[in-house]
Structure 1
């Protein structure tokens, strides 16, 4: 009998949680060759409905319930990484250098340094407040702001905590929900996960070993090349 992934009929949050736990890494949309995605496993008519079957709403529940880290981790695309795999993943894609050192070595942008410091001081901060504290609310700075956030996710310095409703001065929901961010270390600590004990190379080796029985050879070859493992 074909697996749920092969049939393409994942309809509930709990079923998708099982898929993520089994595969370790699952993109929101198709990205990895011969590898499932949330979009590909679910029914199009369930998206953006606001119901319990809405996969778009699930993306915030996974990190919120400590089941998976979430962020634009690979090629600037949204990815879910299971709680079991996340410590090794963060070690494999992250840097041993502090961001200030990376900036001095030309490996990080000034905006990323500023945003990371603000997020460290305000874990779970939402996008609008983050832009205000970073003095990047003007339209001309939006691209630099978005790029810096993506940069920090790509090095697993931060994760997407979830989404928060935007409220007006009277406390009434006003406008689209806003994405919130926290450091990867904080997310792990809150969810009782320990940092990976080992080097970046050892973390990458751990992940590839975990992929052996559940990923296709094509998918493993792709991620090894893309992530330089």
Structure 2
């Protein structure tokens, strides 16, 4: 289990947070699971959104960028970090065994999700503004459909948030909000040197349960099993 000092906000550096993610496998950005830490709970509030090297909000882009953890809205549309050690089993246990095209034909994914996935697959690392433009979803009245589709793709483990790009003006100076970028799960894993899980879906589930038994509280496991419908 996480030590008491860490749970009191004792994590101050990126490396310390990376170690925690490796230890517990799954770390939400904000409080989500009962009796389970989040990046928010482990860090000091005054360090958030400072732009410094101690800013946990900035770390969320470094983790996937450095292959430390997958990042995305993987559970109940909430932002989650999943360690590189756990992610292959997570994908094998909870991802789909069919292509997005097959799922679309069977009514199991939205048309917008399929459109966005095809664009991301052809332009790995594409950032949000360009993705909306390429998908013809730049209009204000299409923003909700766009947001729902990228969240859907993360929840089905088809894409990850691979980083955050700074928006810059013509002079190369930072201008406006940063923009999220996306990659397919398979590309991010390959680019990060992460191998796929060697085993069946059942074996992947058992692997995750075994790892959770080592470090998770009973309450957190119960909550997650219910979320996963296990």
TM over 0.5: yes
Gap regions ≥5 residues in structure 2: none
The residue number in structure 1 matching 2:54 is: 53
SS in 1 for 2:79: strand
**How big is each residue's C-alpha offset from its partner over 1:67-116, in whole Å with a ceiling of 9 and x where there is no partner?**
00000000000000000001111122210011111111111000000000
User: What's 1:111 paired with?
Assistant: 112
1:170: how far off?
4.9
* 2:139 is the alignment partner of 1:135: no
Task: Using structure 2 for the length normalisation, give the TM-score.
Answer: 0.96
Contact 1:73/1:153 (<8 A) preserved = yes
Residue 187 of structure 1 corresponds to which residue in structure 2? 188
Q: TM-score, normalised by structure 1?
A: 0.96
CA contact (8 A) 1:93 1:154 kept: no
**TM superposition shift of 1:3:** 4.2
Distance 1:81 1:15 in 2: 15
Given that residues 8 and 41 in structure 2 are in contact (C-alpha distance below 8 angstroms), is that contact kept between their aligned partners in structure 1? no
Look up the SS of the partner of 2:30 in the other structure.
coil
Residue matched to 1:222: 223
- Offset, 1:166: 1.4
The change in CA–CA distance for 1:131 and 1:192 in structure 2 (over 3 A counts) is: same
Alpha-carbon contact 1:25-1:79 (below 8 Å) kept: yes
1:5-84 equivalent positions in 2, closer than 5 A: 5-84=6-85
Determine the structure 1 residue equivalent to 2:167. Answer: 166
Deviations 1:118-137 (A, max 9, x none): 00000000000000000000
* Cα shift readout 1:138-180 (whole Å, capped 9, x = no counterpart): 0111000000000000011000011001133454432111000
Instruction: Select between 189-198 and 41-50 the one with higher mean Cα deviation.
Output: 189-198
SS at match of 2:180: strand
2:92 and 2:30 mapped to 1: Cα distance? 24
Distance 1:2 1:166, change over 3 A: closer
In the aligned structure 2, how far is the partner of 1:201 from the partner of 1:81?
Answer: 19
- Kindly state the Cα deviation for residue 196 of structure 1 after the two structures are TM-superposed: 1.1
Q: Point out the more displaced range, 109-118 or 171-180.
A: 171-180
Q: Do the aligned residues in 1 keep the contact of 2:64 with 2:163 (CA within 8 Å)?
A: yes
Residue correspondences, number: 229
Note the residue ranges of structure 1 that are not aligned, 5 or more in a row. none
Between the aligned partners of 1:172 and 1:49, the Cα distance in structure 2 is 18
